[in-house]
Chains A and B, each alone.
Chain A
Amino acid sequence: MTSPVELSVRVNGASHQRSVEPRLLLSDFLRHELNLTGTHVGCEHGVCGACTILMDGEAVRSCLIFAVQADGHELTTVEGLAAGDDALHPLQTAFREAHGLQCGFCTPGFLMTLIPFLRDNPTPSDREIREGISGNLCRCTGYQNIVQAVRLAAERMAPEATP
């Protein structure tokens, strides 16, 4: 075993200092050290996308990153998406209204993939949406309602309705 390494990260706006084994995966760090269990682990080899979080605003797979690699970075997990206890992010609301989730296990990964996707492309076509989520696996929904939810969210999140 290698000796622990100091780690300092901001997650959902809060700072955390921990001493961790270098081999500890970021997904395990978030789930088991910080108890942020909304980030799910579906394959641990970077295919399913369930563990997707934001690192400095970009979507990354937390199962493919060691916790120590997040040192000094700003992370956002699904728990940090909604503004407050009662509020939902417009993307979350759209997922609910369009029935974009069934068992909900893959859902946090989809949401976190879609945050930078919609930031970079606020008015995506269906094809672009499908490509945008093609790195996330869902076994329940057959994806159609997720596409629908993204479309709905994009409409609502657009700064001004585009002509």
Chain B
Amino acid sequence: MNRSYVGQSVPRNEDRRLLTGQALFVDDVQLEGMLHVAFLRSDHAHALIRGVDVSAALARPGVAAVYTAEDLGDYWRPGPLLVPPPPVEGLTFNEATQVPLAKEKVFHVGEPIALVVAESRYVAEDALADILVDFEPLGAVVDPEAALAPDAPILHTQFGTNLAAHVVQGHGDYEQAKAEADLVISRRFLYDRGAACALENRAVAARWDPKAEELTVWDTTQAPIPIRNGLARMLGLLESQVHVVAPFVGGGFGPKIMMFYPEEVLIPWVAMKLGQPVKWTEDRQENFYATTQERGQVHDAEIAVTQDGRILGVRDFFLHDTGAYDSYGLTVPINSQCTLLGPYSVPSYHSEFKAVFTNKITVTPVRGAGRQHGVFVMERLLDLAARALGMDPAEIRRRNYLGNEAFPYNHQIIFQDFSPLFYDSGDYLPALETALETIGYDSFREEQRRMREAGRHIGVGVVSYIEGTGIGPYEGARVTIDPSGRVRVATGLGTQGQGHYTAFAQVVAEVLDVDVEQVHVTTGDTREFGWGTGTFASRGAVVAGSACHAAAQAVREKILAMAGRVLEAVEEQIELSDGHVRVRGAPERSLSLGELARMANPLRGAVKPGTEPGLEATAYFGPDRGSTASGVHAMIVEVDPETAMVEIKRYVVVHDCGRLINPMIVEGQVQGGVAQGIGNAFYEKLIFDDSGQLLNASFMDYLLPTALDVPRVEMAHRETPAPMNPLGLKGVGEAGCIPTGAAFAQAVEDALPEYGLEILEIPLSPNRLFSLLEDAHDH
């Protein structure tokens, strides 16, 4: 009997621990003699530090130590550049990376200046109030456009400008396309900042064991192995002396991969310095000030189309607000630049962006990672063009999709993985038709009219997107048959709720034909597996899943070879099923995998030269290029023009992430992504005042969608296999939130045709929508 697990909605192996309160999260780490850390953070967005007086804090009972930048000595140095700029010709990049503690100047509210180590977090926070900082406030740069004004205060004075980067990419001749076009639409689009708001805040705990000469660090990171490597380098230790554990992590969404946050640099250092275990856990308010954020782009974009709605070209200039530092390189704006092209044929494209420094929290990828900005701009341009041409919004998309014969398709620009932007495969038109059919697009106009007669305003939005997923460089996995007969899998990724303990188990269980619950997966523990990069760019299942598959295949070969020797049969006669090997036709000649594993690790005799003990294999997967997921979102909303409240009546997602490992998990990712997208579209906006103060740094003021705000997402899957990996997988983690804002805008406009509304910004809110309606009314 061959078990089929890949493609099945297997309940998750990790759930029992999470449901019973037995799963370890970093803040759960409790060690004998543990001290607790609190950070003193800047109240100013932009200021010089004239002096820091920690004497009163040091004198407070229960305080073990207080450190400022001065105390760090040679350990104080700017963090590494996480992602260097991609190889784009003529690119400008001014590198400014964060420091462990601010020394002479602070660049955003919340930047750490000092840290207190105390017997409890309560005492540590008391002592923060004892520290005196002499600030000399400077003018703050908040608005990304104002950042480039000639009289703007300069953040990083060594550059003489707030320009962080300038990148021009494109193909074809846009000016020519524009000259030939029947219609040119140009608009300014805004996409403002939001926060990832994982429910678990960040945390780091560290213990130095002087006898073992070993540092153990528990970190809520999405990238435990790079953290280990960096810490070893900074602390002058061997990588083998640093053990990083990312246990259960309570949501990642991008910001938990920012090597290195100051806290990640400092907590291990303090543990070594004091010879005592130390822990720091971020509180929610700190999370708003100290954890990286995303969004904040201004696009001046233009589309040139023919009378029949065909795209001739797109031109886009945009400003990208990178915040105080640009340590994550250009991943976010490059994603925006590339993803704008969507599933469409765009014969000419000119895209130019400037990233600017502002006195705000650093920008790094948050779920979607800039893709939603590109999608918003393109989809809105298509909507506006369709409106001007009197064409149905679905029809203009239909006319511009890349046909299936186009793949692999090269857009001739560079993607975030430094490879040309290649679409490996896709099948776009059927996804659109399925979405239209599911939402009842054809009959909707009739219903809309009926509702309108009853004084109600409903509208529909349908948008497309693609998502570059599953990029390199590589991940690895080790698969071992345990002498108990259970199967152990270890991979270097961290996990933040994606179901890796189950999805990887399914891949391995299918290859080895064992019960999926008998496959024990470890992720995020550098002792268990020490090679890899991390969880980002919707790549976990694709890249690590493929590595698990390869390692399991290699173990399968070892099992068959060894069983052939032991059972005295040719390999072809050996049958592997149900956790046993058997000789075909002679069921009495059978061994369990556990027995075989014990025989593979003998106490006497010899393991033959050229072979290895045990039933174990390690394999790596490194795709040249990512795989391109795609889909269509459709939604029906009802808008009350009096209150500007929007109710989502229906939400349909037709999604193509290649072959599904576990449809239940995939659907969960999509539903959760849509919820985040709805938040970005209508609830969540970080509001900074002119001095760079964040005005809504709490869950009272920054609204996450609740169960009353998120509808059930109706889903259909299409499976266009990825040609670049053996299982045909594409990533899915970010898809749900990428086109949501664009769908929302189209649907709201459609609900209120008489206003002639143009929604050119995200996020909206009832207030903002109300004022847009007022403006439209006045015109």
Contacts and interface: CB of A to CB of B under 8 A. Distances in A.
Nearest to B15: A96
B21 A103 contact: no
Contact of B200 (A40, A141, A146): A40
Interface string A123-161: 000000111011111111111111100000000000000
A79 B21 contact: yes
B769 to A, nearest CB: 22
B200 A92 contact: no
B443 interface: no
Nearest to B675: A142
A7 interface: no
A88 B712 contact: no
B19 A21 contact: no
Given A43-B284, A88-B19, A103 B496 contact: yes
A142 B16 contact: no
A70 B302 CA distance: 62
B746 interface: no
Interface residues of B, number: 60
B708 A142 contact: no
A16 interface: no
Given A106-B199, A134-B706, A139 B676 contact: yes
Contacts, number: 177
Interface string A33-67: 00111111111110110100000000000000000
B22 A143 contact: no
Nearest to B664: A99
Nearest to B497: A103
A160 B201 CA distance: 42
A146 B18 CA distance: 14
Contacts of B253: 139
A35 B708 contact: no
A145 B736 CA distance: 15
Contacts of B708: 130-131, 134
Nearest to B13: A96
A143 B710 contact: yes
Contacts of A39: 21
B283 A96 contact: no
Contacts of A111: 19
Given A47-B699, A103-B198, A106-B199, A143 B707 contact: yes
Contacts of B497: 101-104, 140
A139 B704 contact: yes
Nearest to A101: B18
B421 interface: no
Interface in A1-25: 1, 21, 23-24
B414 interface: no
Contacts of B149: none
A144 B712 contact: yes
B454 interface: no
- Overall SS of chain A's interface: loop
Given A43-B284, A92-B20, A147-B707, A105 B665 contact: no
Contact of A105 (B12, B251, B668, B671): B251
A9 to B, nearest CB: 17
Contact of A145 (B19, B122, B671, B704): B671
B23 interface: yes
A8 B27 CA distance: 25
A136 to B, nearest CB: 8
A24 B18 CA distance: 26
Nearest to B197: A139
Nearest to A131: B708
Scoring A107, A129, A142 by chain B CB atoms within 10 A of each residue's CB, the highest score goes to: A142
A146 B673 CA distance: 15
B249 interface: yes
A95 B14 CA distance: 12
Contacts of B665: 99
Contacts of A24: 122
Interface string B411-446: 000000000000000000000000000000000000
Contact of B199 (A37, A99, A137): A137
Contacts of A140: 199, 251, 497, 668, 672
A99 B672 CA distance: 12
A108 to B, nearest CB: 6
A144 B710 contact: yes
A64 to B, nearest CB: 13
B499 interface: yes
A86 to B, nearest CB: 9
- Nearest 4 interchain pairs by C-beta: A38-B21, A105-B250, A103-B497, A104-B18
Interface of A: 1, 21, 23-24, 28, 31-32, 35-45, 47-48, 50, 77-79, 81-82, 88, 92, 95-97, 99, 101-108, 111, 129-131, 133-147
21 contacts: A37-B25, A37-B28, A50-B199, A96-B16, A99-B667, A103-B497, A104-B18, A104-B19, A104-B250, A106-B199, A108-B21, A111-B19, A139-B198, A139-B251, A139-B675, A139-B676, A140-B199, A140-B251, A143-B675, A143-B706, A144-B671
Given A37-B28, A42-B199, 15 more contacts: A78-B19, A88-B20, A99-B665, A103-B198, A103-B497, A104-B248, A111-B19, A134-B708, A139-B253, A139-B672, A141-B668, A142-B674, A142-B675, A143-B707, A144-B712
